[in-house]
Structure 1
Amino acid sequence: MGPKAKKIILILVGAFFIYAIFTSPDKAAGIVSNIWGVLVDGFNAILTFFDTLLNNN
């Protein structure tokens, strides 16, 4: 995928988020909150994995 295609996709995704925020701010906030929760849970799982790996000598 070329740089132009990536730029167009980023612009479309950004436009969609702006549209979603203006049309339904509560749902948009819920989606962002859920995505953030998934990222935090994933990061914590990775930390737990490495902590367990390093402590099982």
Structure 2
Amino acid sequence: MPSKIKVILIWLVFGFLVYAIITSPERAADILQAIWDIIAQGFRNIGRFFSALIE
């Protein structure tokens, strides 16, 4: 039963993403860029943390 719910949720998220891209591609690109920046900054901060431990 939980696997059916998971599949349905994945399809709903996928459908929403397609809808968002079709209705407002510039806004969807801005959101994706912001998410990427957050992820990249997180990895940079983790790298700085371990570099500081080594020093």
**TM-score normalised over the length of structure 2:** 0.91
Give me the whole-angstrom Cα distance separating, in 1, the residues matched to 2:47 and 2:7: 33
How far is the alpha carbon of 1:54 from its aligned partner? 1.7
How far is the alpha carbon of 1:3 from its aligned partner? 1.6
The residue aligned with 2:21 is 21
Q: Structure 2: where are the runs of 5+ without partners?
A: none
**TM-score normalised over the length of structure 1:** 0.88
Give me the whole-angstrom Cα distance separating, in 1, the residues matched to 2:20 and 2:11: 14
Amino acid at match of 2:51: D
- Percent sequence identity is 44
The residue aligned with 1:39 is 39
The residue aligned with 2:48 is 48
The list of structure 1 runs, each at least 4 consecutive aligned residues, that deviate by more than 4 angstroms after superposition, is none
Q: Structure 1: where are the runs of 5+ without partners?
A: none
Amino acid at match of 1:3: S
Amino acid at match of 1:25: P
Give me the whole-angstrom Cα distance separating, in 1, the residues matched to 2:9 and 2:41: 27
Amino acid at match of 1:44: R
Count of residue pairs the alignment pairs up? 55
